[in-house]
Structure 1
Amino acid sequence: MKFLKNALNRELSPLGVVSNDSQSKMAKSLGRTLGQSLDTIELDDFLQQCTTGTTDHDALICFIAARDMLVLWLHLHHYFAHEERPLIISYPVGINLPGVIVGAYQFRECADLVVCANSSEAELANSLYSDMSATPPRTTVTKLPIFGDKTDTAERISERLDKADRFVFFGQPDIPNLAEAEYIVSKLERLADQHRDKVFLIKPRFMRGEKFTAHKPKYNYETVFLEIVEKRERRLPNFAITFEPVESLISDGTVALSVSSTALLEAASSGIPAVALTDLGIRETLGNSYFMGSGMLRNLESLFGDEPYKVNSSWLEDKIGNQEVKLQLQAPKRSYNDSFWARNEFLPISELDRYARSKNRDISSFGDLVNDPDLFRSIIDSDGHRPIDRARALKRKKKYDEAIKISLNVVQEDPKNGLHMRNLVETYILKGSYGEAAKWLEKLKAHKGENFPPAVELTEMLTASQSAR
């Protein structure tokens, strides 16, 4: 990729590191926008590669959750000499909502170069990094490739809202809570009933069984949707769940709805009306306080009222940036010891879930992982390639038969292994083998009890999948 150069002005061979489909989308968008192709690899696969101490790439563009940057940094720290490791570039994967932005940039400090989505975030990052390290990472500002470049007037966007015939609600994994999500879906159903000439769609952030990274789903919008619509004798023909890609849903004749999803900025930057919902109020915990001053805050009822809709174009330009999408780098590799995290002994290990789950009881803090290479490698050897991790990775790649084979082998040796029973139920559901899923679900309940939370969740997943068949 010729757009990527190091401090010596030498062309680099970059690799995109991703953790889920939305991050892959960002990587592909970047390559497409720059007229280049960008090879990608899943984070877990790259971490496994790291244990060999070799890589064919001399730069990593990391489209991963902020905390996962520390995971990747730890692997490079223990398996690569400074001179041999690739350049680490941390790329944003969406908007940073109030209340989490400082924490997100804090974890990204371990990179050599931190890419910021706009100048305001770059100013915050530089201020933060100057306090964290005497030799902070470089920062650069680029417009995210998922954002459009239309400069339509607020009046024209307002006209599109009045003429829209499709309303798409973009769900988020951890905002709002379940009761609030049920309230929003119920209101959308009422609007669909009142406006039969319009189409109302719900786009969940994750499909059931899909891997999550930064945000653990608290519930599934499919389940919420099905529970609500099944109370009717007949489903409304204009109210449905969709798993179409975001970019195909954001099109002419559409209004994008959400509490605080990045999809709102994707829509608004493409000239599509976007509404940050205020039906639950405006507060930082909902993330919609991010949209204060945008002109996009309003409730569902007002979509069909006389209240004027006017996007603040200067606010939008500040948030999405007005510079080109580019990545010309002048970033030297930092020493491992330059990072704040090399000296932070007391980060609670619970902040890094994959190590907190380790059976190794010698870990008390992040410092143990940084300073004791033998301890770290023993964890990777014992936990990094567990059968359950391999089975889950195969499930994410939709290699269901291979995932099932691993879990069946484990359960044959250990008939009470709850982790693999759960994996079998979920994998059979995703494969569409509902009879096998039900069989293993009963075995899980017999072992763990009817009220075992994962068993309850899997029962709901199985019921919803069979209903949607």
Structure 2
Amino acid sequence: MPASATKSLRVAVLADSDTRWKWGALTARRLTPADAEVRLDGYLLRGRATPTARQLSEVGVRADSLREVTGVEFLHAMGQEPYDVLVLALVGGGVQAMLHGLRHVWGTGRRPVVVTGYVGVVYEKLTDGLLLRHGADLVLANSRHDADRFRAVYEGVGADASSVTEVALPFLGGKPYTGGHDPYTVVFAAQPSVPDNRRDRTYLLDRLIGHARRHPEREVLLKLRSKPGEHTTHIEELPYQKLVQGKDVPANFRLVYGHMGEVLDRTDLLVTVSSTAALEALHRRVPTVVLTDLGVREALGNHHFTGSGCLASWDQLDAGHRPVPDQEWVARQGVAAGESSYEACFSAARERIAGLLDRPGGLPPLTPYYTSETAPGYLPGILARHHLGPDGAPLPGAPTADKAPGPVRQIVRRAARGAYRHGVQRVAPVIRRMGEL
């Protein structure tokens, strides 16, 4: 990267949920040189999971500017603002739509380096998700394990795999675990959509409460991602806050929110079904258990941890079991490294971005694998959901307002979003149960 570029960089992040904003903003920080003067502009894609002010505050990542936009509004901004790096922190379909929209906006002109990737463990829709992300200059893999899988998928369909770049999850860190706290603290990291039914979620909750009763000397915490009415990356139809209502819980059991890193500061045992929090805990050498009570299944995501040494059941935990992670497994997952080694995980990506920014003549147009020729029955629907036509141009009538919505529009939007969440969390489960009768 030329000396002038290291002095000042403009970086944009487009995210569609609180967890993806956290991943995208922290990734942007990791991928820019420490001695650079970086301006970070955040864009939040308007939708069902647009984070609330509380969620953004809990994430704790600051930006120089942050605003909510539609996809078309974002594309318009990208046509006006000269950025150096753009991080797309979206679901696969959103990434694909933005890649085609950006190709239309930028054409053959100057454009930033485009980066995308995954927030955490990739345990489902591997091929689908990867091909929807193809076309970015860098597709980040959070571990050696993922990098190998990503390249195999791209090469298997004849797509260019050179964009796959190995890094690590950007939010790992914190002091390594050195011993017990007083009181000994067990934390269950809840997930919005795993498991996805009342019976299994109630089972896990009851076992957690039962563990607190069996071990009154321990503090047992249920770590929650969001409050009722809020959405994160996945829809939560049955929040634990509601399932625990009316239950007789012991004094050493309680619900907690907040930054996962801060919770891990006082954790002696992290328990989960398949949350990325397991990787955060393993990185800090906190004893970690991935539950097998509901089976080891792809639908749960805990199959990703086979070979980790962390699989165990509540019966084993109640009896005092402490897991011992397999060091070869954790090394392939990009965790359990020293701070200097962890920082080095991002060196290749930084060097690659520097080389692309310094490329003579600028960067070529974006070239996603999916086109009207390769996926004529799939791509148009993805683009249409973001009000884009087959060529990536905004469809007639697509929202393009540049100014912030007025107070009436804001009230209507909040009401509509609240109605949607009520439907997801209250009405949909009732209809589903009625259909099972």
| TM-score of the alignment, normalized to the shorter chain, above 0.5 | yes
CA distance change for structure 1 residues 38 and 252 in 2, over 3 Å: closer, same or farther? farther
Q: Return the alpha-carbon distance in structure 2 between the equivalents of residues 4 and 298 of structure 1.
A: 53
Matched, 1:17 2:14: yes
Task: Tell me what 2:257 maps to.
Answer: 243
Structure 2 match to 1:272? 286
2:11 and 2:85 in contact (8 A); partners too: yes
Find out whether 1:169 has 2:172 as its counterpart.
no
**Aligned position for 1:340:** 370
Matched, 1:199 2:196: no
CA contact (8 A) 2:135 2:369 kept: yes
Task: Specify which of 389, 396, 406 is matched with residue 378 of structure 1.
Answer: 396
> Following superposition of structure 1 onto structure 2, how do residues 64-463 of structure 1 map, counting pairs within 5 Å?
64-97=90-123, 99-133=124-158, 135-148=160-173, 165-178=184-197, 179-213=199-233, 215-226=234-245, 230-232=246-248, 235-305=249-319, 307=321, 309-320=323-334, 324-326=344-346, 327-329=350-352, 330-331=355-356, 333-337=363-367, 339-341=369-371, 343-348=373-378, 352=382, 355-356=384-385, 369-371=389-391, 373=393, 376-378=394-396, 380-381=398-399, 405-406=408-409, 421-423=415-417, 456=427
2:43 aligns with 42
Deviation at 1:79, TM superposition (A): 2.3
Structure 1 residues 102 and 114, CA, compared in 2 at 3 Å: closer, same or farther? Answer: same
Larger helix proportion of the pair: 1
Partner of 1:448: none
Deviations 1:402-451, CA, capped at 9 Å, x for gaps:
76x3265x6xxxxxxxx875446689xxxxxxxxxxxxx9xxxxxxxxxx
| Partner amino acid, structure 1, of 2:409 | I
What code does the residue aligned with 1:277 have? L
- Contact 2:223–2:255 (Cα < 8 Å) also in 1: yes
1:456 deviation in Å? 4.1
Give me the CA root mean square deviation. 3.9
Q: Structure 2: which 5+ runs fail to align? A: 46-67, 431-437
Partner letter of residue 95 of structure 1?
A: V
The aligned counterpart of 2:85 is 59
How much does 1:378 deviate?
1.5
Contact 2:238 2:425 in 1 (8 A): no
| 8 Å CA contact 1:164, 1:254 repeated in 2 | no
Q: How many Å apart are 1:148 and its aligned residue?
A: 3.7
- Separation in 2, partners of 1:170, 1:3: 44
Contact 1:135 1:338 in 2 (8 A): no
Q: Tell me the distance in 2 between the aligned counterparts of 1:292 and 1:20.
A: 29
Determine which structure has greater relative contact order: mean sequence separation of CA pairs < 8 Å that are 6+ residues apart, divided by chain length: 2
Q: Deviations over 1:163-222 (max 9, x none)?
A: 871111111122112221111011111111222221222222333333434x33332222
C-alpha distance after superposition, 1:113-144 (max 9, x if no partner): 21211223222222322344555552221122
Q: Secondary structure at the match of 2:285?
A: coil
Alpha-carbon shift at residue 38 of structure 1 (Å): 6.0
SS of 2:390 mapped into structure 1: helix
Q: C-alpha distance in 1, partners of 2:329/2:3?
A: 29
Evaluate the alpha carbon distance shift between residue 177 and residue 92 of structure 1 in structure 2; reply closer, same or farther with a 3 A threshold.
closer
Indicate the percent of aligned positions where both proteins have the same amino acid. Answer: 20
Aligned length: 384
Counterpart-to-counterpart distance in 1, 2:158 and 2:7: 27
Call closer, same or farther: CA 1:338–1:130 in 2, change over 3 Å.
Answer: same
TM-score normalized with structure 2 length: 0.74
| Alpha-carbon displacement from aligned partner over 1:269-300 (angstroms, at most 9, x marks no partner) | 10111110111111111111111111100012
